Amino acid sequence: MTDTPTAPPDRLSTDPRSPFHDAAMIERGVGIRFKGLERHDVEEYSVSEGWIRVQAGRARDRRGNPMTIKLTGPVEAYFYDRAETDAAD
């Protein structure tokens, strides 16, 4: 048995200060499909709640962190290595 999960987490963030940050999952490579389109600019996502958070241009808050916008719609998360394996079959 391996300890490697077959599905990405329900919620994940790229911000290390977030309680939903998981460096091992991010390093493995998680892809996001939002409303049927590949998104490469996602800061945080929640599959069960149906939203993603993306950076809002070049705007920054008073602490220097990027401003983000929450977009709602169908979200699908997957591992890049699983997608390559499925495409090869």
Contacts of residue 35, defined as CB under 8 A and 6 or more positions apart, other chains included, come to 73, 74
Q: Which domain holds residue 26?
A: 11-88
Assign 23 to helix, strand or coil. Answer: helix
For residue 27, the number of C-alpha atoms closer than 13 Å in the C-beta half-sphere is 5
Q: Residue 83: what pLDDT?
A: 60
Q: Residue 68: what pLDDT?
A: 96
pLDDT at 3 over 80: no
pLDDT at 31 over 60: yes
Residue 5 lies in a domain: no
Residue 34 lies in a domain: yes
For the chain, the domain total comes to 1
- Cα 71 to Cα 73: distance, rounded to the nearest angstrom: 7
Please, what is the average pLDDT of the chain? Answer: 91
Give pTM, 2 decimals.
0.84
- Cα 77 to Cα 11: distance, rounded to the nearest angstrom: 9
